[in-house]
């Protein structure tokens, strides 16, 4: 996918939904990222973060506010400008570069933690991009990854039930007909993933440890009683886990790169 100089309709819709956003509104989401990472990587002022696909920029801004070093990469210059305007309200300047992960140089062994949430479904050549992410992590580094789940009954990408189940060509056709041709320039989900497919790819890249959503979950931290029951059942039973992951609303992984002395 190429950088888009005009404002695509999907970006307009996205920005309109966050017109009244405050950084405080994203505090809980921010803490959830850190809680996922902290058991495996110490986080302090020396930790180097990279977020791929910053969207409206709340994660790099909250990192800056809390004294954490986070660089961002975002394909839409209009979203980057929104992030800078949001930051100005708080006296903050986000470190976000306009670029496409497929083409940008993010270096080798540069970052301790890389966040890629709700972005890789939009990356056309996703395997090559994941290789760049792996290479950019330092030994012992952590990737927090979230994306689509093909077999979810509903999708955050589009309102249609069983949307992810549709063949790609049908999904593309539906989105073009209902949202306009420029959805293919920015906004289309090229991919709908599954847990087995992603786990296989993370293993191929060489991650030393790979934790899926069930393995990451702490039942005590789940608010709804029925969700706590599902998490506990999935942790006890391989069959229950397989069913839960198959139909989960998103794919979520935490992947650890081997320490240098283990490679």
Residues of the chain with pLDDT > 70, as a percent, come to 97
Q: Which tens digit of pLDDT belongs to each residue from 211-259? A: 999 999 998 888 889 989 999 999 999 999 999 999 999 999 999 999 9
Residue 201: both structure tokens together = 């790819």
143, containing H or E segment:
strand 137-148
| Cα distance between residue 110 and residue 136, in whole Å | 5
pLDDT for residue 263: 45
pLDDT band at 13 (very low <50, low <70, confident <90, very high): confident
Domain extent listing, the chain: 9-216+249-262
Q: Structure pTM? A: 0.94
Q: Are strands 111-117 and 69-74 parallel, antiparallel or unpaired?
A: unpaired
User: Does the domain spanning 9-216+249-262 belong to CATH 3.40.50.150?
Assistant: yes
11-25, 26-40, 203-217: lowest mean pLDDT where? 11-25
Contact between residue 8 and residue 185 where contact means Cβ atoms under 8 Å apart: yes
Nearest-5° angle of CA 76, CA 72, CA 98? 35
Q: Which tens digit of pLDDT belongs to each residue from 104-147? A: 999 999 999 999 999 999 999 999 999 999 999 999 999 999 99
């Amino acid at each position: 996918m190429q950088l888009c100089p005009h404002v695509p309709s999907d970006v307009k819709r996205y920005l309109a939904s966050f017109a009244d956003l405050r950084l405080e509104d994203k505090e809980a989401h921010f803490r959830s990222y850190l809680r996922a990472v902290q058991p495996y990587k110490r986080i302090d002022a020396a930790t180097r973060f990279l977020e791929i696909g910053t969207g409206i920029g709340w994660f790099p801004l909250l990192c800056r506010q809390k004294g954490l070093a986070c660089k961002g990469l975002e394909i839409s210059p209009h979203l980057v400008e929104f992030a800078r305007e949001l930051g100005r309200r708080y006296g903050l300047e986000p470190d976000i570069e306009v670029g496409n992960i497929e083409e940008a140089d993010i270096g080798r062994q540069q970052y301790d933690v890389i966040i890629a949430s709700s972005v890789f479904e939009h990356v056309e050549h996703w395997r090559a991009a994941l290789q760049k992410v792996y290479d950019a992590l330092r030994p012992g580094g952590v990737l927090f990854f979230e994306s689509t789940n093909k077999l979810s009954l509903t999708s955050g990408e589009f309102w249609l039930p069983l949307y992810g189940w549709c063949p790609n060509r049908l999904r593309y056709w539906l989105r073009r007909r209902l949202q306009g041709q420029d959805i293919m320039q920015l906004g289309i989900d090229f991919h709908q993933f599954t847990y087995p497919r992603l786990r296989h790819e993370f293993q191929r890249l060489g991650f030393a440890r790979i934790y899926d959503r069930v393995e990451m979950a702490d039942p005590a931290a789940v608010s709804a009683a029925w969700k706590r029951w599902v998490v506990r059942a999935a942790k006890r039973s391989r069959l229950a886990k397989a069913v839960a992951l198959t139909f989960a609303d998103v794919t979520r992984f935490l992947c650890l790169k081997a320490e240098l002395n283990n490679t």
